[in-house]
Amino acid sequence: MAWDTERTKRLLLDAATAEFSAHGLAGARIDRIAASAGVNKERIYQYFGKKDELFATVLGTRLRAMMDEVPMTGEGPEAAGDYAGRLFDHHLADTTIPRLVFWEGLERGAAATDAARVAYHDAKVQRFQELLPGVDRAMAGEILLTIVTLVNAWPVLAHLDGYLVGASAGRTAERRAFIVKTTVAIARAALPGG
């Protein structure tokens, strides 16, 4: 029977995603990833290299998939707000990306730069510029960073809500609405003549 390399890689990436999301880069264990995938850990090194390379592959794979799952559609400030709201919904349904991005920031910081991620973010900023015609690259990047910060923080830092605002029924919907409203206001102000 032939070895199904693609299936093995998928199993390893799924197991690594769960492990890194739960434990971060430093806390993740290659032996747990291999055991969870039901694969010899030597395959991890063979297919993905060292643990930090596997982490980068996991995060890059998830980010590229998210661009398809949460596309930027339409044009104008309301379209930017719509994107922020849908991204918020996506990250509530699956907290993996916010968790991985926070772990990356805590554990890798500036060392996280690689060519594939630069290309991914360049494409994302370009697409956002199409969403807000007339906004230059630097401003598009600023607005996207604001959206990502607002959206990614909720799944990871929602416990602060009780301290700062007061947790209540419907709070998640209120937070979503606030993020959308904030994004629309920022996008409107960034437009030429705004």
Helices 77-93/115-131 angle, 10° precision: 140
Which tens digit of pLDDT belongs to each residue from 41-50? 899 999 999 9
For 41, the token pair is 């850990």
In this structure, which CATH number among 3.90.960.10, 1.10.730.10, 3.90.1720.10, 1.10.10.60 belongs to the domain 1-51? 1.10.10.60
> What pLDDT score was predicted for residue 168?
80
Which element (helix H / strand E) includes 22? helix 5-27
Which tens digit of pLDDT belongs to each residue from 67-94? 899 999 999 999 999 999 999 999 999 9
Average pLDDT over residues 145-166: 89
> What pLDDT score was predicted for residue 15?
97
> What pLDDT score was predicted for residue 160?
86
Please state, in angstroms and rounded to a whole number, the distance separating the CA atoms of residues 153 and 102.
9
Neighbour count for residue 10 (Cβ, 10 Å): 12
How many secondary structure helices (H) and strands (E) does the chain include?
Answer: 10, 0
- The pTM of the full predicted model, rounded to 2 decimals, is 0.90
Burial (CB count <10 Å: 0-12, 13-18, 19+), residue 94: middle
* Sequence ranges of the chain with CATH classification 1.10.10.60: 1-51
DSSP letter at 73 equals -
In percent, the amount of the chain with pLDDT more than 70 equals 97
Q: Is the pLDDT of residue 120 over 60?
A: yes
Which of 54, 124, 61 lies closest to 97, judged by CA? 61
Place of tokens 């390893």: 12
Neighbour count for residue 121 (Cβ, 10 Å): 15
Residues listed for the chain:
194
Max Cα-Cα span within the chain: 66
Please state, in angstroms and rounded to a whole number, the distance separating the CA atoms of residues 99 and 25.
11
> What pLDDT score was predicted for residue 1?
43
Average pLDDT over residues 184-193: 94
Do 102 and 152 form a contact (C-beta atoms < 8 A)?
A: yes
